[in-house]
Chain A
Amino acid sequence: MPREAATMSLQQKVSVTLLSVTTVLALLSYVILNAVVSPAFDNLEMQAAKTNLIRVDRAIAAELDNLRRISADWAPWDDSYRYIQGEYPAFEKSNLATTTLVELHVDLMIFYDASGDLRWERLLVDGEVADLARNGVFGLGSATEEKLIRHESVDSEFSGIVHTNRGAMLITSQPILTTNGTGPVAGSMILGRFLDSDMVTQLRRRTEVDLVWHSFDQHADFHSVETKKLLESDVGAVSVAVSDDVIDARSLLHDINDEPILVLHASMPRSISALGSRALNGALLFLAIAVVIVTAVIWLLLRNIIVKPLESLAGHITNIRKSGDLSRKWQINRRDEIAAVATEFHEMTVELDDARKLLLDQSFKAGRADTAAEVMHNIRNAMTPVINGIDRLGMVCSVTNGMKVEQATAQLADPACLTERKDKLLQYIASAFRHVEDSHAEGRNELAAVSTQARQVEAILSDQERHAQVSPIIESLELDKVLDEAVLVIPKRKTPVIEIDVQQEIGRFRVQGQRVGLMQVLCNLVLNAYESIARSKSSSGRIGLSASTETMGDVEMVRLIVSDTGCGFDAARKQKIFQRGFSSKSGNLSGLGLHWCANALAGMGGRIQAKSTGAGQGAEFHVLLPAAHQS
């Protein structure tokens, strides 16, 4: 994290955001699956339970239909019709027997004549012939019996469930008619089948439902919610009770008088919801794994593609801020928007660097101009009294102009000159001398005043010299860029032909120095090298520029060598080469001088050395400056 002021890093923000989104997504998925999908499984399960009971109900109805079809074979039959009317007594012997019931899979067969008298009956209980009244099936004289025994028309037919002492029975009653279905109604034929354990087994097998039933009167809990709900519902309604493991479905069967007679009860294990729950858990697990994987992938992608490069870029910017080196470039091999931002930033900093250098130059020049203006103002002010003093000195010097001392002396020597005139002439000469003496004294005073003003000028110059000792601004400089500007000073002349040999790796060296000063030093050295080659009368020459690093004490220094193939110098000249005012140059190419260069480099914490193996052997000038850290 480059700056401590930021309370949350980009990496943390990305992590928190991804974590929040995935958590919300997981919770949302969990809620949706449990609120929508899981109830759908429950509904499906309850619907299946209801369907099971409906199938049982239909199976019972099918049994009743089967019983009705058997009855439809026997009741509208001329043989049955004649038998009831007493015209076919042999019918009983040939058709009515216990085996008939067994073959027809019925438990009850009864024939009544039109007056309601019993003509033939047979009841089988557990395969054995049983008494009707004792088993509470018929012969009790109930209204239901009357309803079944007497048919008012040929279309009359009754079927349903009745209650017996041996339990509920499917029963059907049809009028006995001719085979053509014509009447009058001769009697009634009743067929019945117990809803016993065999029937339950049979229904279980057919419907594949774990079915039980109970007598409504004996087993129904009249106060239970399910029973009340069933009693208030339409016929065929199914009530479902759900527990953790089982779904209990109940429905009511009504008797032939639409009174509740049986409670059907089917229990079903909650296999569908269990399956659904497993499916949901599997889906949630898959979703969780997917979310974790996607989150991890997104996090890694964001980390590697965005966050790390941005951190690197932020570090790069921080380094630039700390070092003040605006020429540093972000070293990363990318071609995306972040790289574009970095490139734009680099170009901006380069422009800013150039602008800063320009500003420094301008500030430097402006400072110099201001200083020069101030110095000129002060010196001119100081020089004005000097000039006016000199004017007055000139007047003093011309004090004898117009005096006629020589003429007066000549007249005194004339014997013809009268005494009175001689006295005045002597008085004139004396006054002239006194005036000259007075002017001489005045001139001394003026000279002293001029001398004082001259010292003021010197004081102003000394003051400026003191200000000139201000430390230069030291900055990190790329050596190659300073040298690029320095070599521009080489004159573009036909001879000598100059080869500039710059070390390839020189661009990686940075020094701490004052840019303008160092550039002036290097310009001076390069120009000296050129002039040395030119003085050697050679038609061509080489100027070499190379650099290396070395440690001097605890300081890492950069050694820049400016070499030439020019005149060189001997040991005697080497002793004087950095002295003030020393020069071996001729012509108009002279620069600032090596004395100035040495002082300027000393001001930057550096130094300069001169090396030559002798006259005509070329020379090397070594510039040593503190190294600046590489980016």
Chain B
Amino acid sequence: MNGHIDNDHIRVLIADDDAHILECYREAFLETEPTGVMKMLDLLSAELFDPETDIVEATKFDVVSCSQGDEAVTLVGQAASDGRPFDVVILDIRMPPGIDGVVAGSAIREMDPDVEIVFVSGYSDVSRGELERRVPPPMRLHCFSKPLSFMQLAEDVANLVRAH
């Protein structure tokens, strides 16, 4: 499990059995700390060429990750009891040897009806209709297939949180 907490951030829980994938998630969702050169460049650019330009703040995520479905269920339960529920839960569907993402998503939905649940899978023999039946409601259920751009996914997640 890895992550940090900030009250202004979008709280995201990610569950995937592939450690490399989790690293990719973190790289995409967590803000990169600017280097000294970059800070210097930004300051000089503002001073020399465009002093009126507003610096746009990027969306910030509070990311918690785990490798098994039952861990994800436990973390959602703990977050709810701490009064800091997750805004988005991203689940892989196949996470051997534990429960699969659909079972975990169904349990999470029972604990938190408002959380956005995103299924991301390389392959699934579970149809969209089956997912909607087991993890309702459809408006808070989102599906993506691997391979995908996690940067794009981070933008999509930020957009759907803002939309709700």
A-side residues, CB < 8 A to B, are 373-374, 376-381, 383-388, 391-392, 402-404, 407-408, 421, 424-425, 427-428, 431-432, 434-435, 438, 453
Which of A384, A402, A408, A434 contacts B48, CB < 8 Å?
A408
List residues 34-65 of chain B with CB under 8 A from any CB of chain A.
35, 37-38, 40-41, 44-45, 47-49
Given A373-B125, A377-B123, A435-B37 in contact, is the A428-B44 Cβ separation under 8 Å?
yes
Q: Which of A380, A403, A425, A431 contacts B40 (CB 8 A)?
A: A431
CB distance from A45 to the nearest CB of B (A): 101
Known: A407-B49, A438-B37. 13 other contacts (CB 8 A): A380-B145, A380-B147, A383-B146, A384-B148, A384-B150, A385-B24, A391-B152, A403-B45, A424-B44, A424-B47, A425-B48, A434-B37, A453-B20
CA distance A432 to B49 in the complex (A): 14
Contact B122 A381 (CB under 8 A): yes
Do B37 and A377 touch across chains, with their CB atoms under 8 A apart?
no
Whether B122 pairs with A380 at a CB distance below 8 angstroms is yes
A391 to B45, CA, bound (A): 26
CA distance A387 to B149 in the complex (A): 6
Q: Point out residues on B near A: beta carbons under 8 Å.
A: 18, 20-21, 23-24, 27-28, 35, 37-38, 40-41, 44-45, 47-49, 94, 121-123, 125, 145-152
- How far, in whole Å, are A428 and B145 apart by their CA atoms in the complex? 43
| CB of B155, distance to nearest CB on chain A (Å) | 11
The answer to whether B48 touches A431, judged by C-beta atoms less than 8 angstroms apart, is no
- A407→B48 CA distance, assembly (Å): 10
Complex: how many Å from CA A614 to CA B40? 79
**Contact: B41 with A381, CB < 8 Å?**
no
Chain A residues touching B, majority SS? helix
Instruction: With CB as the reference atom, state the residue of chain A lying closest to B41.
Output: A431
Complex interface: chain B residues within 8 A of A381 (CB):
18, 21, 122, 146
Query: Smallest distance from the beta carbon of B125 to chain A beta carbons, Å?
Result: 7
Q: Are A404 and B45 in contact (CB under 8 A)?
A: yes
Contacts of B125 on A, CB cut-off 8 Å?
373
Query: Are B44 and A384 in contact (CB-based, < 8 A)?
Result: no
Pick from A377, A402, A431: contact of B94, CB under 8 Å: A377
A-B contact pairs, 30 of them (CB 8 A): A376-B122, A376-B123, A377-B94, A377-B121, A378-B122, A380-B122, A380-B123, A381-B122, A384-B24, A384-B146, A384-B147, A384-B150, A385-B23, A388-B149, A388-B151, A391-B149, A391-B150, A391-B151, A392-B27, A402-B45, A403-B41, A404-B45, A404-B48, A407-B49, A421-B48, A424-B44, A424-B48, A428-B41, A428-B45, A435-B38
Chain A residues within an 8 Å CB radius of B38: 435
Q: Which residues of B contact A428 (CB under 8 A)?
A: 41, 44-45, 48
A408: chain B residues at CB < 8 Å are: 48-49
